């Protein structure tokens, strides 16, 4: 029972953590929340859906979908952020919302308002049993993928010069620029990595729900946002931690709440999040000292 | 020939005018000090040269061509490195990582990186001792050294130094200035220094500008001014 709970939390948490990490990367540099972030899941879903008829194997389709995701993320920067970045925070909030709405409506107009089925390889849903735990294969794959991604990601941030430059820019963007680190390179890299992480997490998400509809982006955006708020908006470790904590809270309520209250689970989760924020308004991990928007 | 020439510079933050009118020039190899009280517009002038603060009006030329509208990263790559007022080291990175980032523009030339790093560690041996420490754990004086060392890693032609004495104990200030003097002696680095600490700054300067309420009020040779100037008037007005 306890082991089952741990596996459930970890598999949900891996997805949440990757989502949150993608959001906090851009926030860390620009100090702006990318509200078009959730739409990356929409891109993943519809990309795989549209490739359904193609002769490619599934892994290749999801690979292309992730590439599309990276591309869309970078496009968000060029369309919604770059033109108004220097001018005002409000403008960027509105343009990122607008870009999200644009993508949603494109899906609505060009495809359909109805949920569409996203094909997933059938082995992902097969159940495996070990040590008394029964879980679908996709849950174990989620955990594995997250561990590998997080390891590579943190190695990149620690060992590579570009990773160092990203961390420096997140602390003090102007100072980083005064050392010759090009702003546009850092921002584009942040959006690209954000797209990659959202793409990977989105594929895992798809393997769970197997469908896509125009409004699909809201929930992942909310999850990523809440996870980063819990963990601390300025810290990449915080985002990962926040993702797992949110999964822990969600899953605990899944186990504890009686069946007829379960549909109000999110209300319980949010109340709990508010409680965390009352105790630690900065989030659990504080991150670098200077977090002012520059 | 003038290495840096600032003409009719005006800096404002929204409605607030920080710098009304600044004209100054720095010749190659010179050490020029910009003196003034709090809020005189010294840092704004410096950051505006570095490309960070918006220039309201005016013209900045470096080595004969205009850098007025260039980005901070472009200005650095032309050879102007900045040590800002609050040092602005990256506190959660290691000392060594701060140094490495300072050499970002030389990243393709590992020989230059290695050589400058050795020079920086020679100048500030304490940084070498602490290179695997998180930079935020350094003392104020060490952070100042790190900020200067980091700036030197880009092998600049000109250094903009903003109040290296700020918030440091007098003995540490003494030490920092010894290092700057040593740096001046060992290289042909051109320095534009901003200070409140007049006596200390005058000891290493060739020329001085006095800034008051966003305007240059007087200027001259450091050695002459040291004895004749009425500092009270400069700092506090009539």
pLDDT digits (tens, 9 = 90+) for A263-274: 888 888 888 888
Residue B107, chain A, CB below 8 Å: the answer is yes
pLDDT value at residue A14: 94
End-to-end CA distance of chain A: 49
Cα A222 → chain centroid: 9
pLDDT value at residue A259: 83
pTM, 2 dp: 0.88
Q: Which residue has the tokens 């020079």?
A: B119
In whole angstroms, what is the distance from residue B97 CA to residue B131 CA?
8
pLDDT above 90 (res A112): no
A165, closest residue in chain B (CA to CA): B101
Distance of residue A88 Cα from the nearest chain B Cα, in angstroms: 12
Distance of residue B232 Cα from the nearest chain A Cα, in angstroms: 34
In whole angstroms, what is the distance from residue A228 CA to residue A225 CA?
5
B49, closest residue in chain A (CA to CA): A178
Residue B48, chain A, CB below 8 Å: the answer is no
In whole angstroms, what is the distance from residue B50 CA to residue B36 CA?
19
Residue B52, chain A, CB below 8 Å: the answer is yes
pLDDT above 90 (res A29): no
Residue B92, chain A, CB below 8 Å: the answer is yes
Average pLDDT, chain A: 88
Pick the closest to residue B199 from B219, B238, B170, B179 (CA basis): B170
Residues B93, A164: C-beta atoms closer than 8 Å: yes
Residues A164, B81: C-beta atoms closer than 8 Å: no
Find the DSSP H helices in chain A.
2-30, 39-50, 58-76, 89-110, 137-159, 161-171, 173-178, 183-209, 218-231, 236-256, 265-279
- H-helix or E-strand containing A233? none
Q: How many other C-beta atoms lie within 10 A of the C-beta of residue A160?
A: 11
B85, closest residue in chain A (CA to CA): A175
* Residue B55 DSSP symbol: P
A179, closest residue in chain B (CA to CA): B102
Backbone angles phi, psi at A126, to 5 degrees: -60, 145
pLDDT above 50 (res A292): no
pLDDT value at residue B226: 67
* pLDDT per residue of chain B (238 residues) written in tens, 0 to 9: 789 999 999 988 878 888 888 999 999 989 999 988 888 888 899 999 999 877 778 899 999 899 988 999 999 999 999 999 888 999 989 999 999 999 999 999 999 999 999 999 999 999 999 999 999 999 999 999 999 999 999 999 999 999 988 888 888 899 899 989 888 888 889 999 998 888 888 888 999 998 888 888 888 887 777 666 666 666 666 5
Band of the pLDDT at A43, cuts 50, 70, 90? very high
pLDDT value at residue A293: 42
CB pairs under 8 A between A and B: 75
Q: How many other C-beta atoms lie within 10 A of the C-beta of residue A29?
A: 23
Apex CA B83: angle with CA B23 and CA A235, to 5°? 130
pLDDT above 50 (res A184): yes
Residue A180, chain B, CB below 8 Å: the answer is yes
Contacts made by residues B110-118, CB under 8 angstroms, sequence distance 24+: B112/B155, B113/B153, B116/B152, B116/B153, B116/B155, B117/B153
Residue A288, chain B, CB below 8 Å: the answer is yes
pLDDT value at residue A188: 94
Q: How many other C-beta atoms lie within 10 A of the C-beta of residue A268?
A: 17
Residues A181, B97: C-beta atoms closer than 8 Å: no
CB B120 within 8 A of CB B153: yes
Distance of residue B199 Cα from the nearest chain A Cα, in angstroms: 29
Backbone angles phi, psi at A181, to 5 degrees: -80, 120
pLDDT above 70 (res A130): yes
CB B10 within 8 A of CB B20: yes
In whole angstroms, what is the distance from residue A121 CA to residue A136 CA?
12
pLDDT value at residue A192: 96
What burial class does residue A134 get, using C-beta atoms within 10 Å of its C-beta: 0-12 exposed, 13-18 middle, 19+ buried?
exposed
Residues A179, B107: C-beta atoms closer than 8 Å: no
pLDDT value at residue A294: 39
Residues of A in contact with B84 (CB under 8 A): 175, 178
Distance of residue B138 Cα from the nearest chain A Cα, in angstroms: 14
pLDDT tens digits, one per residue of A132-162: 888 888 889 999 999 999 999 999 999 999 9
Whether this model's ipTM surpasses 0.85 comes out as yes
What average pLDDT does this structure show over A163-192?
92
Distance of residue A165 Cα from the nearest chain B Cα, in angstroms: 7
Distance of residue B81 Cα from the nearest chain A Cα, in angstroms: 7
pLDDT value at residue B137: 92
Distance of residue A178 Cα from the nearest chain B Cα, in angstroms: 5
In whole angstroms, what is the distance from residue A187 CA to residue A194 CA?
10
Apex CA A34: angle with CA A85 and CA A172, to 5°? 60
Report residue A275 as tokens.
Answer: 């409680």
Across the interface, which of B71, B90, B100 has its CB nearest the CB of A177?
Answer: B71
Mutate to test the interface with B, among A160, A169, A178, A292 (most CBs of B within 10 A): A178
Residues of B in contact with A177 (CB under 8 A): 51-52, 71-73, 76
Residue A176, chain B, CB below 8 Å: the answer is yes
Q: How many other C-beta atoms lie within 10 A of the C-beta of residue B14?
A: 5
Across the interface, which of B72, B136, B151 has its CB nearest the CB of A177?
Answer: B72
Residue B136, chain A, CB below 8 Å: the answer is yes
Residues A167, B90: C-beta atoms closer than 8 Å: yes
pLDDT above 70 (res A2): yes
């Amino acid at each position: 029972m306890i082991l089952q709970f741990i596996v459930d939390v970890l598999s949900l948490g891996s997805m949440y953590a990757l989502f949150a990490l993608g959001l906090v990367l851009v926030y860390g540099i620009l100090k702006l929340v990318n509200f078009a972030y959730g739409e990356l899941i929409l891109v993943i879903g519809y990309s795989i859906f549209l490739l359904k008829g193609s002769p490619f194997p599934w892994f290749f389709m999801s690979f292309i979908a992730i590439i599309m995701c990276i591309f869309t993320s970078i496009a968000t920067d060029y369309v919604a952020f770059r033109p108004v970045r220097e001018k005002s925070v409000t403008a960027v909030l509105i343009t990122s919302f607008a870009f999200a709405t644009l993508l949603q409506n494109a899906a609505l107009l060009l495809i359909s308002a109805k949920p569409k089925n996203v094909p997933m390889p059938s082995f992902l849903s097969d159940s495996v049993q070990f040590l008394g735990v029964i879980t679908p294969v996709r849950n174990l794959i989620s955990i594995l993928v997250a561990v590998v991604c997080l390891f590579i990601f943190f190695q990149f941030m620690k060992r590579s010069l570009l990773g160092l430059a990203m961390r420096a820019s997140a602390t003090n963007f102007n100072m980083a620029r005064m050392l010759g680190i090009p702003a546009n390179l850092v921002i584009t890299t942040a959006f690209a990595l954000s797209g990659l992480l959202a793409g990977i997490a989105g594929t895992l998400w798809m393997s769970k729900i197997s469908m896509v509809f125009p409004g699909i982006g809201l929930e992942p955006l909310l999850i990523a946002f809440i996870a980063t708020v819990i963990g601390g908006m300025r810290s990449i470790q915080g985002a990962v931690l926040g993702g797992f904590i949110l999964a822990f809270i969600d899953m605990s309520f899944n186990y504890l709440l009686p069946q007829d209250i379960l549909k109000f689970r999110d209300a319980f989760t949010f109340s709990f999040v508010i409680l965390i924020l009352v105790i630690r308004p900065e989030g659990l991990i504080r991150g670098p000292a200077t977090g002012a928007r520059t | 020939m003038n290495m840096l020439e600032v003409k009719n510079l005006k800096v404002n933050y929204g409605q607030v005018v920080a710098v009304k009118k600044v004209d100054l020039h720095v010749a190659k190899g010179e050490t020029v000090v910009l003196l003034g009280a709090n809020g005189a517009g010294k840092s704004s002038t410096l950051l505006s040269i570095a490309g960070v603060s918006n220039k309201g009006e005016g013209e900045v030329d470096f080595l004969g061509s205009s850098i007025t509208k260039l980005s901070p990263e472009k200005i650095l790559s032309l050879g102007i490195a900045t040590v800002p007022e609050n040092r602005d080291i990256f506190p959660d990175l290691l000392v060594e990582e701060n140094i490495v980032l300072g050499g970002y523009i030389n990243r393709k030339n590992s020989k230059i990186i290695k050589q400058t790093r050795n020079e920086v560690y020679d100048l500030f041996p304490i940084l070498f001792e602490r290179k695997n420490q998180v930079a935020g754990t350094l003392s104020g004086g060490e952070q100042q050294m790190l900020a200067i060392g980091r700036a030197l890693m880009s092998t600049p032609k000109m250094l903009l130094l903003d109040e290296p004495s700020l918030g440091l104990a007098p003995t540490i200030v003494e030490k920092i200035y010894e290092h700057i003097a040593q740096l001046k002696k060992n290289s042909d680095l051109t320095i534009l220094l901003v200070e409140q600490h007049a006596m200390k700054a005058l000891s290493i300067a060739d020329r001085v500008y006095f800034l008051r309420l966003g305007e240059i009020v007087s200027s001259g040779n450091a050695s002459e001014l040291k004895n004749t100037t009425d500092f009270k008037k400069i700092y506090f007005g009539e």
